[in-house]
Structure 1
Amino acid sequence: MRAMELGSPGELRARLNSLVLAGRKTATTGLLAEYAEETEGLEFVGERLALLSDDGRSVATLEITGVEQKSFAQVTWDHALAEGEGDTSLEEWRAGHRRFWEREGTPVDDDTPLVCLTFRAEATAGG
């Protein structure tokens, strides 16, 4: 089973994992370029992934329910809302994601290709 790590290590990853476990986060967005850098294939509908904590422990199993490639500008409010991070508008979501990726060293523009995933989570026993 492949694994998924949300956000960056530390407080952000812990918060995002908590949102998943609470059922509030059912989507995530990644840079298509990261798949090439990591020589990873895209997730596929029905695939199960281990959601990892900072220490590499599985805290949940995610079942992928949707995979879409789109540009940054094409991300919908429905997808942004499903990310469950408390954004109150698509503009707020975009600003927050731009800041995150810029801090990570990969600034994005409206044409940057993304992968939008939706999933359902099942907590891992003992996780």
Structure 2
Amino acid sequence: MTGPHALKPLLLAFPGPLRDRLVGAVLSGEKTATTGLLVEYEAENEELPEAGERSALIDSAGREVAVVEVTEVRVLPLVEADLRLALDEGEGYRSVAEWREAHERFWHSEEMREGLGDPDFTVDDGTMLVVERFRVVEVLSPGVG
């Protein structure tokens, strides 16, 4: 059993309905990948995750709900995102275009631009992504920890 703060948090989107939906998709096994922007890691001076690294999946209430293990990390330009990635994101995307449109909408959101400290931030085909694939190692009881 993991104690509080023993693992780095895995935060999907921002707290609220989107995070709740993504956490549910991870717990159900539908979501086995997530995509972030390389610039996010640079802005936060954060190292990229590595295969074998474990994190605590955090829900909107800030609770640790599962332990997930990174199985693969790739850095690639947005133009190389493929259908397998779109499907593995577990959000019901049926095409790369649909996946990209939803991700660009999120990346261009006010919250995201604020987080990056860049009100004019935009993405294009060459924008570098960090794709993490992962698996759930342990589901934690809500309210524990």
TM-score after normalising by structure 2: 0.83
Would the aligned equivalents of 2:12 and 2:22 in 1 still touch at CA under 8 Å? yes
Aligned residue identity for 2:108: E
Aligned residue identity for 2:43: E
Q: CA deviation at 1:56?
A: 1.9
Q: Which of 127, 134, 140 is the equivalent residue of 1:112?
A: 127
CA distance in 1, matches of 2:62, 2:45: 20
CA distance in 2, matches of 1:34, 1:125: 28
CA distance in 1, matches of 2:29, 2:139: 14
Runs of 4+ aligned structure 1 residues displaced above 4 Å come to none
Task: Check if 1:86 corresponds to 2:96.
Answer: no
Would the aligned equivalents of 2:64 and 2:140 in 1 still touch at CA under 8 Å? no
Cα RMSD after superposing both structures: 1.1
Q: CA deviation at 1:123?
A: 4.1
Would the aligned equivalents of 1:19 and 1:84 in 2 still touch at CA under 8 Å? yes
Indicate the percent of aligned positions where both proteins have the same amino acid. Answer: 45
- Tell which structure's C-alpha radius of gyration is larger: 2
Structure 2 residue runs of 5 or longer lacking an equivalent are 1-6, 114-120
Structure 1 residue runs of 5 or longer lacking an equivalent are none
CA distance in 2, matches of 1:63, 1:83: 15
CA distance in 2, matches of 1:78, 1:126: 31
